[in-house]
Chain A
Amino acid sequence: MIGKGRLPLFSIALLSASALATELYLVRLFAIIQWHHAAYMVISLALLGYGVSGTMLALARQQALARFGFYYPVLILLFALTLPLCLWLAQRLDFNTELLLWQAGAWLGMVGVYLLLALPFLFAAAAIGLALDAATTRVAQLYAADLGGAGLGALCLVVLLTVLPISDIPAALVTLSLLAAAIALLELGQPIRLAIPVIAALIIGVWLLPEGLNRPQVSEFKPLSEILRIKGAQQIDERSGPLGLLTLVENKEVPLRHAPGLSLHTPRIPGQQMALFEDASGMSAIIKIEKNQPLEWLKWMPSALPYYLSRPHRVLIVGAGGGMEALQALEMTDAIVDVVEPNDHRLELLRPEYDDPESNRRLHYHHAEVREFLQRSTIAYDLIVFGPGGAGGGASGMQALDTQYTQTIEAYREYLDHLTLTGRVAITSWLQLPPRGMLKHIATAIEVLKGNGSIEASNNLMVIRSLQTATLLFGTGSFSEGEINALMTFSKSRGFDISWYPGMVASQSNRYNRLPQPWLYEGVSRLLGEQDDDYIDAYKFDIRPVTDDRPYFSHFFRWSLLGEILSNRGKGGMSLVEGGYLLLLVTLIQAVVAGILLILFPLGLRRRQTGISSKSLVSAAGYFLCLGLAFLLIEIAFIERLTLLLGHPLYSVAVALVGFLVFAGIGSAFTRPLVSYLGIRHLLWLSTALIITAATFHLIAGGWMLQTVRGMPEEVRIPVVLLLIAPLALPMGIPFPLGLSWLAQSAPAFTPWAWGLNGFASVVSAVLAILIALHWGFSTVIFVAVVLYLVSALLLPNAIRNHQP
């Protein structure tokens, strides 16, 4: 017990900072070495370490509390030491998420990764849980330090990713944890003569480890690994930053030739290219401009269509990619070309390739996210271009969980608002069969055009299709006779199929590259008709247009496909049908099962030892479960919503986490004086009422607030966002320490269980939030959280009432 001794506030803040930064680092790491969804799976189970720590503490509570001064720093030290070791080992296990879908044996590797990554978190969480238990009635202060520290940890990781290469991050995280251990020793008045030099030596040691040891071990199945295996391939540059790891590869022996959808009739083949990878996949090609390498082939790409229809004067390219779209615009027009790209490292790598006087005069790079850029811009464009990299809806179904605010109904409206009278939006994307992504682009465009009463949507659309890609053109002005003739000539000479133009008849579709069915033509005709909703509802995949509240453009899964998936299980068929979504479900199921086995089941078995009467056990357990679920639901909903405002998921993660955790920490710090003034029940009701009021305000006025804040200058936006978060986050910090302080007085042996239940709920909540948002949007996520807070406010008084010491 800490008794009246000094609370280990600084060490717990530092430990929480380090643990949260590690979680976020794992998200980045697994996005690089595996795929984005693998990060969700790994993180959710690694976080289960938090839940299990409660069980562990409950089992050894008396002993651990009796020697708190020893166990607390040792647990922190174990976190620091197992972290690099487990990271190293986890990356060397045979684990591939693609194989998970069709090979039962692959799950063994996955389980190994889970266990390894759960271990350091188990120690970190055990240290925090033990300290909360030991703090007894002063628990709120310690919890405040825990929350505040975690918030700063999020910020810390963004800074670390900005200033350090990705391979140095583990060393920085270990340093933070070791410092936490050293501070813990100081705070608890433990003998430090031997410990401090050892910790100092460990810190120095971790920075002296060979660089290769911590390099991300990219899966052999990722495109970067594939291309590096080809003879002559050389990695010539690498840029690591919070927005991703960029790798530039050149091969002079076997040059890359990437030209999605290139016509079979092209008179010239593409020249040398370099491959630019983002997180070891997401390849785009940088075209090398050399005198003997004519760029004629660019005119034989489907994306060249808009330049054949008219001569744009001002072109906006969304997403720099490898520069092909910009180069195409420069080659085929005299226009001024603006390129918006959120990742400045990408711009740094591209600039030197196109550094000539002509390009410098006409090509302007803007470091921004497109909607943020347009919000500030007053320019009217003749053409807004999305290449396959920026359009989304990739072929593998593995981006199902990515939010894409550039492809929502609201986004399309903004694009139309920034066009000239005859301006067009041109979207080229990969074509899957049966089509999904392109049909969703088309459905979105048609919905937006239909929404504009003065427009006859069918006259404002054009769609062509090559072997692997499709290009959609739309705008507020209808296509002229001249433009339609130009389309005919362009498509015929290149062997591209026309899927829609004003006045098209069915017999004109599906001529050159014959599909089993003219899906796109049928899709456009049906979507333009009155029964468009029926068509969308009956379609095999989810092609319903997405909104800013539900921006999962690449989510195409439908439950009606489940029968097919199951009948093709183990034969490679599952991945076609939205692997990302299914893996999310699997993650949720495994988290629930593991949580029941490792937390709820032991709790049930040892309920007599919890020191809480059976009558109030269920209410108390429910209270901490509801709080764990609700807190993270709100946090995740805000992280995702703020992405639109702040331009990139990582910034929104940092700002939302800092905001919620630091303000909740402040709320928590005020819990103790408020309890003595108001009493537990009144404070609980007050905080719940405040949470519900603030959340409802966000639900009702969220859209308006987003619009207003987006118009503000960049430097003002983050403080304003934090101010908007504060009224919600401050009361959110109160219920958990409030429950703990009741336990400290009435049933202290239940404290570790409360900690474990809260941890378990967070694991489930992280996945549940995405699942709810995919189907019903972020507003529903916030609504569910509000209901959970309300339920929790009913449960604690019930637990208190039924508790008989």
Chain B
Amino acid sequence: MYNNSYSVSRIAITGLWLLLVLLVSTASADSYARMTERKAMVEEIEADVRDTSRYIGRKELDPRVIQAMQDVPRHEFVSDRYDDDAYLNMPLPIGHGQTISQPYIVALMTDLIGAQSSDRILEIGTGSGYQAAILAELAAEVYSIEIVEPLAVLAKERLERLHYKNIQVRFGDGYHGWPEQAPFDAIVVTAAASHIPPPLVQQLKPGGRMIIPVGSRFMVQQLTLLEKDLQGNVSTRQMLPVRFVPLTSNNK
């Protein structure tokens, strides 16, 4: 009787251990698989950067940006429906008619503002929170505004769950920026607008940079980089996300 119950509990304990080992190994296999997918995505981004170097003025991205793209789990920012596609180099719907940007665009925008570890960055258009997470890996503080309330709530919860302590998300109209926290070293606008909101230009520090995509979500055509020099003079530069239009044909 004793022996029997002893062997039963041994079997039970062994079983539990096996289950635990199975769960842990499944989880690590899963995270390993995700890491591999992220690595492949990053390699694709790097290839894109090389292909488009003529237009974006660089052959490779800042290694810190690459590392951030490698570290942030994009699959946490998409719905279950698109989980399998999370690391494809393409935009994906996130509900409410919004999309999570193409990873190449996220990496490029992050690189173009040249974020430093002491920087305070403003983001307009939180969306899923993915871009904010990438920025948070590189900068000291990230302030992000989202105009669609449910998205703002969701992104805030998600970023808290993923322990991003240096990101603040607020629901509101990004047109006026975040004057209480201004000025910013850099501003990232992820939603296309009909013009660059003047309040945002005012909230940019001298020497700061702002990046804005021009065009619709599904067909982002051009990124615009706004630079404010130390005297406060503003100039803009439009470049192509040549992922779409490599302009390889003759004489163009």
Q: A residues touching B (Cβ–Cβ < 8 Å)?
A: 98-99, 101-102, 220-221, 225-226, 229-231, 253-255, 257-262, 264, 266, 269, 395-397, 432-434, 467-468, 495, 512-517, 538-540, 560-561, 564, 568, 570-573, 575-577
Contact A229 B235 (CB under 8 A): no
From A254, A468, A517, give the contact of B147 (CB < 8 A): A254
Q: Does B35 contact A (CB under 8 A)?
A: no
**19 further interface pairs, Cβ-Cβ under 8 Å (given A220-B97, A517-B252, A570-B90):** A229-B96, A230-B147, A257-B194, A257-B197, A269-B198, A395-B219, A397-B219, A432-B221, A433-B238, A467-B238, A468-B194, A514-B236, A514-B238, A539-B252, A560-B249, A564-B246, A571-B243, A572-B102, A572-B220
A255 / chain B contacts, CB cutoff of 8 Å: 173
Given contacts A102-B90, A225-B97, A575-B218, contact A260 B245 (CB under 8 A): no
Secondary structure at the B interface, as helix, strand, loop or mixed, is loop
Contact A564 B248 (CB under 8 A): yes
From B214, B219, B248, give the contact of A576 (CB < 8 A): B219
Contact B245 A573 (CB under 8 A): yes
Name the residue on B nearest A228 (C-beta).
Answer: B97
> Interface size for chain B: under 10, 10 to 19, 20 to 34, or 35 or more residues?
35 or more
Closest 6 CB pairs of A and B: A262-B195, A573-B244, A220-B97, A254-B173, A575-B219, A513-B236
Least Cβ distance of B167 to chain A in Å?
21
Using an 8 Å CB-CB cutoff, how does the interface string of B208-238 with A read, 1 for contact, 0 for none?
Answer: 0000001110111110101000000011111
Q: Does B199 contact A (CB under 8 A)?
A: yes
B93 / chain A contacts, CB cutoff of 8 Å: 99
Contact A266 B198 (CB under 8 A): yes
From A221, A258, A396, give the contact of B194 (CB < 8 A): A258
Least Cβ distance of A223 to chain B in Å?
9
Using an 8 Å CB-CB cutoff, how does the interface string of B165-202 with A read, 1 for contact, 0 for none?
Answer: 00000011101000000000000000000111111010
Contact A512 B89 (CB under 8 A): no
From B194, B198, B214, B235, give the contact of A514 (CB < 8 A): B235
Secondary structure at the A interface, as helix, strand, loop or mixed, is loop
A254 / chain B contacts, CB cutoff of 8 Å: 147, 172-173
Contact A226 B97 (CB under 8 A): yes
Q: Complex Cα distance A468/B245, Å?
A: 18
Given contacts A396-B219, A495-B234, contact A468 B214 (CB under 8 A): yes
B224 / chain A contacts, CB cutoff of 8 Å: 467, 513
Contact A564 B214 (CB under 8 A): no
Contact A259 B244 (CB under 8 A): no
Using an 8 Å CB-CB cutoff, how does the interface string of B87-108 with A read, 1 for contact, 0 for none?
Answer: 0011101001100001000000
B216 / chain A contacts, CB cutoff of 8 Å: 395-396
Q: Complex Cα distance A230/B172, Å?
A: 9
Q: Does B62 contact A (CB under 8 A)?
A: no
Given contacts A513-B238, A515-B238, contact A571 B90 (CB under 8 A): yes
Q: Does B112 contact A (CB under 8 A)?
A: no
Q: Complex Cα distance A396/B173, Å?
A: 26
Q: Does B55 contact A (CB under 8 A)?
A: yes
Name the residue on A nearest B234 (C-beta).
Answer: A264
B237 / chain A contacts, CB cutoff of 8 Å: 513-514
Contact A516 B55 (CB under 8 A): yes
Q: Complex Cα distance A495/B234, Å?
A: 9
Least Cβ distance of B78 to chain A in Å?
13
Q: Complex Cα distance A576/B239, Å?
A: 15
Q: Complex Cα distance A99/B81, Å?
A: 15
Q: Complex Cα distance A417/B17, Å?
A: 90
Q: Does B247 contact A (CB under 8 A)?
A: yes
7 CB contacts below 8 A, A to B, read: A231-B149, A255-B173, A257-B194, A262-B194, A433-B240, A434-B252, A564-B246
Q: Complex Cα distance A572/B101, Å?
A: 11
B102 / chain A contacts, CB cutoff of 8 Å: 571-572
B226 / chain A contacts, CB cutoff of 8 Å: 264
Least Cβ distance of A696 to chain B in Å?
41
Using an 8 Å CB-CB cutoff, how does the interface string of B147-177 with A read, 1 for contact, 0 for none?
Answer: 1110000000000000000000001110100
Q: Complex Cα distance A221/B226, Å?
A: 28
B147 / chain A contacts, CB cutoff of 8 Å: 230-231, 254
A226 / chain B contacts, CB cutoff of 8 Å: 97
Given contacts A258-B194, A513-B238, A571-B243, contact A576 B221 (CB under 8 A): yes
B235 / chain A contacts, CB cutoff of 8 Å: 512-514
Contact A434 B249 (CB under 8 A): no
Contact A516 B246 (CB under 8 A): no
Q: Complex Cα distance A514/B246, Å?
A: 19
Q: Complex Cα distance A514/B227, Å?
A: 11
Q: Complex Cα distance A571/B224, Å?
A: 21
Contact B239 A568 (CB under 8 A): no
Q: Complex Cα distance A127/B202, Å?
A: 69
Least Cβ distance of B68 to chain A in Å?
22
Least Cβ distance of B220 to chain A in Å?
8
Q: Does B250 contact A (CB under 8 A)?
A: yes
B199 / chain A contacts, CB cutoff of 8 Å: 269
From A264, A266, A516, A560, give the contact of B239 (CB < 8 A): A516
Contact A433 B149 (CB under 8 A): no
Least Cβ distance of A440 to chain B in Å?
16
Least Cβ distance of B79 to chain A in Å?
13
